[in-house]
Amino acid sequence: MSRLRVGVLVSGRGSNLEALVRAGKDPLYPARVVAVCANRECPALEIAKKAGITRQLFPLSKYADREARDRAMAQLLQAHDVELVVCAGYDAILEKPFIRRFKGRIINVHPSLLPEFAGTMDAVAMALEAGVTETGCTVHIVTDDVDRGPILAQRRVEVRPDDTVESLRERIQAEEHVLLPAVVKRLAGQPLPISV
Ligand code: GRF
């Protein structure tokens, strides 16, 4: 079985990366992480290191501009024949040439039921402040329109009256760790790129 080659972009804790790595340990899982790119030093890089996955840091300060940084990331991903790019807690906006290069092959995990609370890094806090009784997480295709690309799948999470941002985030992330590997599995079984 040839497995879908996945590149993961990270900036933070890396729990979604970990969920994908864990899924890939099953030889019957149809995808595996082959490269990890980070825009800053972060615990996610350590997860990649422990798993023996190629990883590289792409700090903006090392490049002329964002496009140059994204070009360098694209080169690493292409050198590893990456077929699907997963933004898993990646906190920089991808430049248009990168998105064109991997058109229909980039997905993102967002901690809300999009289109609710789009375009923000504070989607969990915003859901809590808005007083909604339900939120969740979404995996969607990345397009130029931040957080507004076609939705692939969502999971719902009830907001409890005593929730804090931390407790709510924890339950949303637990759902992300189920959702993301499931979506990647589904994409491995269908032709890519997805037309967007
Ligand atoms: C996730 O909650 C994701 O929805 C958001 O950033 C968080 C990343 O967490 N985009 P982690 O780095 O995967 O633990």
Residue pLDDT, tens place only, 70-88: 999 999 999 999 999 999 9
Q: For residue 4, what is the enclosing H or E element?
A: strand 4-10
d(CA 57, CA 66): 14
pLDDT for the residue numbered 65: 98
Average pLDDT over residues 138-155: 96
Q: Could you tell me the distance, in angstroms and rounded to a whole number, from the CA of residue 177 to the centre of ligand 1?
A: 10
The ligand 1 atom nearest the CA atom of 87: 10
Q: Could you tell me the distance, in angstroms and rounded to a whole number, from the CA of residue 102 to the centre of ligand 1?
A: 21
Active site residues: 110
Mutate to test the pocket of ligand 1, among 9, 15, 16, 87 (most ligand atoms within 8 A of CB): 16
Indicate the SS3 state at residue 63.
coil
Indicate the SS3 state at residue 109.
strand
- At residue 1 the predicted structure's pLDDT band, cuts being 50, 70 and 90, is confident
Residue 29 has pLDDT above 90, yes or no: yes
d(CA 165, CA 169): 6
Question: Percent of the chain beyond pLDDT 90?
Answer: 99
The ligand 1 atom nearest the CA atom of 173: 2
pLDDT for the residue numbered 38: 98
**Mean pLDDT for the chain overall:** 97
Can you list the pairs that 49-53 forms with residues at least 24 positions away whose Cβ atoms lie under 8 Å?
51/21, 53/21
- At residue 41 the predicted structure's pLDDT band, cuts being 50, 70 and 90, is very high
Can you list the pairs that 106-109 forms with residues at least 24 positions away whose Cβ atoms lie under 8 Å?
106/141, 106/142, 107/139, 107/140, 107/141, 107/142, 107/152, 107/183, 107/184, 107/187, 108/139, 108/140, 108/142, 108/147, 108/149, 109/16, 109/137, 109/138, 109/139, 109/176, 109/179, 109/180
- At residue 174 the predicted structure's pLDDT band, cuts being 50, 70 and 90, is very high
Mutate to test the pocket of ligand 1, among 15, 42, 114 (most ligand atoms within 8 A of CB): 15
Q: Could you tell me the distance, in angstroms and rounded to a whole number, from the CA of residue 142 to the centre of ligand 1?
A: 15
Please tell me if the CB atom of residue 14 comes closer than 6 angstroms to any atom of ligand 1. Answer: yes
Taking only the tens place, the pLDDT of each residue in 112-136 is 999 999 999 999 999 999 999 999 9
Prior bond of 111 cis (ω within 30°): no
The ligand 1 atom nearest the CA atom of 137: 4
The ligand 1 atom nearest the CA atom of 88: 13
Q: Dihedral sign for Cα 116, 88, 31, 195, please.
A: positive
